[in-house]
Structure 1
């Protein structure tokens, strides 16, 4: 059942592919990105020279796009590119998508594809056996049907989830700090460096 005001739309209806190929200079140095599975986001790879890239097809990373690793899409290797990624490159295995005329919100889609439903949909678009044989099909991905709220509601949902992510990150840092302090105290108490009165 479709909630009131929501609509069934295909990926191809709401996203368009962004593709800006790099003319590789063998003497230039390029910063590459990768995408972790399980919705863990983008990471930086070691810089390489154009000569080291060789014939590898790479593309300039565009900010504010939904990006997916086609080899591990079925493991939710999806992310959102940020302004800090501009000037970096990604291989042809990391297609990027921008909303068509404001029809969707990138953050909302990034959260959606990190849910069990999103994993299921990415699996549908990744036919084949296990591992590297389950490559995301571009045509299958474009045809995926999503039930989407209006864009304003998508943005509000993404904002709420982002606020929760920030709170969880802060809590995790506090917990890590508390654990480190406890270990220090244990070391002092259990070795006699700190004595009780």
Structure 2
């Protein structure tokens, strides 16, 4: 196994400050850097009229970038070729690597580790968490083990292959999700009627103060709001419920319940609906989630769940939402007044079968993606902790393949 040299970043990187004075009439696309090592993105486009800044810093492809304010959140990445010539403020320092000793892609992989973010948080300085900066001097003094560049290249290549697989799988999931929207929107024609005419009851849960601790097996729990995704129920998204005062059997979530979010801090998430699956025995409704009970002689719960998730009905639901920018809500009267096309039970069954088939494919891709992400994290840790070594024969193999 080759030796990895513990190296100070200031010895193998150089901070780059390509200063550009702000000129009236010019536009400046500014980059931000996403949390959790998801890299830079175009945050906004400003002019001298919309920004008080007198100067920005021009970026170049393959520069290492981070957000001083949110480095502890994993706000690291590399500037892509598509962002060449864009700009940043002084909160986003830029660095070039001495490629004879450190590849920028390898540096980026190091800062994709959650354990590293924890160390950065420990080293960051500031009076409060919101002002907790990791300064350039601290970046320069940070030390990491660096292998010879051929080893770096092998690690980068292997992780790139995994990322390519993740990207391909993610693209497949997006295609399947787009198909699901189309299938859900192709609902059969039927008798148009108010939702209230096919619903026997809309029941709410209870507001409760509780910790965010996950329940142990068999412990009572209350659903979190994000347990209800668009057509998907996440049974694991629940909080331990220490006090059952005021809860009754009527508040218990049962397998097959149709649930809908009545409020959300995100405008697009209001009115998300899903069928409860794999529900733990002692799971209860919170006040921000309703249970909708349909008249089974007229409308099945699974049909209504898919219908409520269709783009056409989603637009009706979000248009009916009321409230502030921080909390949008729907009420029972508005929800009940929605006019929907309700076909025969046989046509509902066919529609549900079509939707379920595509939804199952999306769920399977989700599971596969989650597994691949977990594998990536484990592989990256093993490679960077020198628990796993890529042999030199890998280079010969690549030459044969190419």
TM-score with structure 1 setting the length: 0.87
* 1:117 correspondence with 2:118: no
Aligned equivalents of 2:98 and 2:114: distance in 1? 25
Is the CA contact 1:19–1:59 (under 8 Å) kept in the aligned structure 2? yes
Aligned equivalents of 1:188 and 1:63: distance in 2? 47
The count of corresponding residues between Structure 1 and Structure 2 is 194
Aligned equivalents of 2:115 and 2:100: distance in 1? 23
Aligned-residue offset at 1:183: 5.3
- Equivalent residue runs for 1:1-197 within 5 Å: 4-100=2-98, 102-128=100-126, 130-182=128-180, 184-185=182-183, 188=187, 192=347
RCO higher in 1 or 2 (8 Å CA, sep ≥ 6)? 1
Shift in alpha-carbon separation, 1:51–1:4, aligned structure 2, 3 A: same
Aligned-residue offset at 1:175: 2.2
3-state SS of the aligned residue for 2:65? strand
3-state SS of the aligned residue for 1:52? coil
Aligned equivalents of 1:183 and 1:29: distance in 2? 37
Aligned equivalents of 2:33 and 2:65: distance in 1? 8
Shift in alpha-carbon separation, 1:27–1:188, aligned structure 2, 3 A: closer
Aligned equivalents of 1:159 and 1:169: distance in 2? 15
Aligned-residue offset at 1:130: 4.5
Aligned equivalents of 1:115 and 1:125: distance in 2? 16
Alpha-carbon RMSD across the aligned residues, in angstroms, is 2.3
Gaps of 5+ in 1: none
Is the CA contact 1:125–1:144 (under 8 Å) kept in the aligned structure 2? no
Shift in alpha-carbon separation, 1:63–1:184, aligned structure 2, 3 A: closer
Aligned-residue offset at 1:52: 2.5
Question: Deviation digits for residues 104-155 of structure 1, max 9, x if unmatched?
Answer: 0111111110102321332233123553221012222211110111112112
Could you tell me which residue of structure 1 aligns to residue 231 of structure 2?
Answer: none
Is the CA contact 2:22–2:54 (under 8 Å) kept in the aligned structure 1? no
3-state SS of the aligned residue for 2:6? strand
Is the CA contact 2:72–2:121 (under 8 Å) kept in the aligned structure 1? yes
Shift in alpha-carbon separation, 1:177–1:149, aligned structure 2, 3 A: same
Is the CA contact 1:125–1:141 (under 8 Å) kept in the aligned structure 2? no
Which consecutive aligned stretches of 4+ in structure 1 deviate over 6 angstroms post-superposition? none
TM-score with structure 2 setting the length: 0.45
Is the CA contact 2:31–2:43 (under 8 Å) kept in the aligned structure 1? yes
Is the CA contact 1:56–1:91 (under 8 Å) kept in the aligned structure 2? no
Is the CA contact 2:96–2:104 (under 8 Å) kept in the aligned structure 1? yes
